[in-house]
């Protein structure tokens, strides 16, 4: 990749996201989400784990056949059988990628029962095998953050020499902090021969609520691929949320001068579809896509945004494809917001009429948590009947 300011977005909603307990999606739902991701401008879609099940294999191969713009990746462990199965599924894509991984930390080496030298041989052999099948090979050092730094340099060098084109440095257990996330990428870029020939990826989990911050820190240090999911879906506390990193890069270009290829106006629709098909609702106050993310309820805030939206909004709802109003009517709302809201609903009121409706609106808001458009229309209709 020559443009050093371009950050690739690798979406793993259909693989790591689907690993959230209970988030299983049907074949057609996966295909629909993949097509939406492809249209939105996601650079790489990780469509699944082909060896995991017949269903996963079919989904990855159908997504590979249908994709138009995105690279389609499948996941495989570090063995030939997994890699071959992965290739069988992704090979139909115009731009296929084999993604292979192995746990490199002492804890994970204990599970595979490989000593450090045996692991290097395994990495060399499996990446070479993948590269003989496909030009585009991603290699991940699972639990990279808890891997000894010297050894991490050795495994990364080995994968690069064997032909990996992307090197992923996952924070598998969501343990790192932004400073460490940046240090590790900077160290690898400085110490590993051939590091400037490959793309470094960051893959963060959210166990400490740091996934977005850690991913952005890695980008500041030189990573050029962010692995993420819609709504932050994923194992345990989830993965880096696509909408958060993409909007952070858009809003804070002054501090982070990098671009993605994402059409951000498609974010809200995707978020809602992923919530529906996965059965995982989005929390109300979730950054960017939560129901309340652009709503203003207090009178002071409503008055501010009505006069100058930038007083309390750092991005526009339309930037992520929200077309609804940003005024939430409730007991904290003021007169100015009520007037604007009623005008939107087709009621243009003189001051004395507004005063009257405002009193009754406040009485209603004291009884009811949320005031919907229909409530306001009913209020107006009652007031017309009473005059």
User: Hey, which residues does 183 pair with through a beta bridge?
Assistant: none
Stretch touching ligand KIV by CB under 6 A, among 106-114, 155-163, 164-172, 350-358: 164-172
Does 142 help bind ligand KIV (rule: CB under 6 A)? yes
- Cβ at position 51, least distance to ligand KIV in Å: 13
Q: Which of 274, 311, 262, 317 lies closest to 293, judged by CA? A: 317
Q: Decide whether 16 or 43 has the Cβ nearer to Zn ion.
A: 16
**Smallest distance, ligand KIV to C-beta of residue 181, A:** 14
Cα torsion through 288, 292, 295, 300, rounded to 10: -110
203 binds ligand KIV (CB under 6 A): yes
CB of 292 to ligand KIV, least distance (A): 30
Residue 38 contacts ligand KIV per CB under 6 A: no
How far is residue 36's CA from residue 42's CA, in Å, rounded to a whole number? 9
Given 57, 87, 101, 361, the residue binding ligand KIV (CB under 6 A): 101
DSSP 3-state of 180: helix
Out of 50, 74, 163, 170, the only residue in the binding site for ligand KIV (CB under 6 A) is 170
Element (H, E) at 167: strand 166-171
Query: Strand 199-204 relative to strand 44-48: parallel, antiparallel, unpaired?
Result: unpaired
Q: Does 16 bind Zn ion (CB under 5 A)?
A: yes
Cβ proximity to ligand KIV: between 16 and 43 the closer is 16
Rounded Cα gap, residues 68 and 71, in angstroms: 9
H helices within the chain, ranges in order? Answer: 27-40, 54-66, 80-90, 106-112, 116-133, 149-162, 178-191, 211-221, 242-251, 267-278, 299-307, 335-344, 351-367, 373-386
Binding string, 311-350, against Zn ion, x = CB under 5 A? ----------------------------------------
Q: Is 5 helix (H, G, I), strand (E, B) or coil?
A: coil
**# of chain residues touching ligand KIV (CB under 6 A):** 9
**Residue range at the interface with Zn ion (CB under 5 A); choices 13-21, 42-50, 125-133, 135-143:** 13-21
Binding-site member from 172, 176, 260, 333 for ligand KIV (CB under 6 A): 172
What are the structure tokens assigned to 64, written together? 């590979």
Sign for the CA dihedral angle at 263, 265, 266, 267 comes to: positive
- Residue closest to 15 by CA, chosen among 99, 88, 95, 84: 99
Binding window for ligand KIV (CB under 6 A); candidates: 25-33, 86-94, 168-176, 207-215:
168-176
238 sits near ligand KIV (criterion: CB under 6 A): no
Q: Among residues 70 and 168, whose Cβ is nearest to ligand KIV?
A: 168
17 sits near ligand KIV (criterion: CB under 6 A): no
Contact partner, 101, from ligand KIV, Zn ion, none, Cβ < 5-8 Å per class: ligand KIV
Query: Which of 61, 105 has the CB closer to ligand KIV?
Result: 105
Partner whose footprint covers residue 142, from ligand KIV, Zn ion, none (CB < 5 to 8 Å by kind): ligand KIV
Minimum distance, C-beta of residue 19 to Zn ion, in the bound complex (Å): 8
Q: Nearest-5° angle of CA 117, CA 134, CA 25?
A: 95
- Contact status, residue 221 vs residue 189, Cβ threshold 8 Å: yes
Residue 85: C-alpha distances to residues 10, 47, 121, 365 (Å): 21, 14, 21, 59
Q: Toward Zn ion, which CB reaches closer, 278 or 302?
A: 278
Please say which residue, 171 or 243, places its beta carbon nearer to ligand KIV: 171
Q: How far apart are alpha carbons 203 and 148 in whole angstroms?
A: 18
Based on CB atoms, which residue is closest to ligand KIV, 204 or 354? 204
Cβ(327)–Cβ(369) below 8 Å: no
Provide the binding-site residues for ligand KIV, judged by CB under 6 A: 16, 101, 140, 142, 168, 170, 172, 203, 205
Provide the binding-site residues for Zn ion, judged by CB under 5 A: 16
């Amino acid at each position: 990749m020559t443009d050093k300011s371009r950050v690739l977005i690798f979406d793993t909603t259909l693989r790591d996201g689907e690993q959230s307990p209970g988030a299983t999606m049907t074949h057609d739902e996966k295909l629909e989400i993949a097509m939406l991701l492809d249209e939105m401008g996601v650079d790489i879609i990780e469509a699944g784990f082909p060896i995991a099940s017949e269903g996963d294999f079919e989904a990855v191969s159908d997504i590979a056949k249908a994709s138009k713009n995105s690279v389609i990746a499948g996941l495989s462990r570090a063995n030939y059988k997994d890699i071959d199965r992965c290739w069988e599924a992704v090979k139909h894509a115009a731009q296929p990628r084999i993604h292979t991984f192995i746990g490199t930390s002492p804890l994970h080496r204990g599970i595979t029962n490989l000593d450090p030298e045996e692991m290097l041989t395994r990495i060399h052999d499996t990446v070479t095998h993948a590269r003989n099948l496909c030009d585009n090979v991603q290699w991940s050092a699972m639990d990279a953050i808890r891997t000894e730094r010297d050894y991490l340099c050795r495994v990364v060098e080995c994968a690069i020499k064997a032909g990996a084109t992307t090197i992923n440095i996952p924070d598998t257990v969501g343990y790192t902090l932004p400073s460490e996330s940046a240090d590790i990428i900077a160290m690898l870029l400085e110490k590993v021969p051939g590091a400037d020939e490959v793309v470094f990826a960051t893959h963060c989990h959210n166990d400490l609520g740091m996934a977005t911050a850690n991913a952005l820190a890695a980008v500041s240090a030189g990573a050029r691929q962010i692995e993420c999911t819609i709504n932050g879906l994923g194992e345990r506390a989830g993965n880096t949320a696509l909408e958060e990193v993409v909007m952070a890069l858009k809003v804070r270009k002054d501090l982070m001068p990098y671009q993605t290829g994402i059409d951000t106006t498609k974010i809200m629709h995707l978020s809602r579809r992923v919530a529906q098909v996965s059965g995982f609702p989005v929390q109300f106050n979730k950054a960017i896509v939560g129901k309340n993310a652009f709503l203003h309820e207090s009178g002071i805030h409503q008055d501010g945004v009505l006069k100058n939206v930038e007083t309390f909004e750092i991005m526009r709802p339309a930037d992520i494809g929200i077309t609804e109003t940003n005024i939430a009517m409730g007991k904290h709302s003021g007169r100015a917001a009520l007037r604007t809201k009623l005008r939107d609903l087709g009621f243009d009121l003189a001051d004395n009429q507004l005063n009257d409706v405002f009193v009754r609106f406040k009485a209603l808001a004291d009884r009811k948590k949320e005031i919907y458009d229909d409530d306001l229309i009913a209020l107006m209709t009652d007031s017309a009947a009473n005059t």
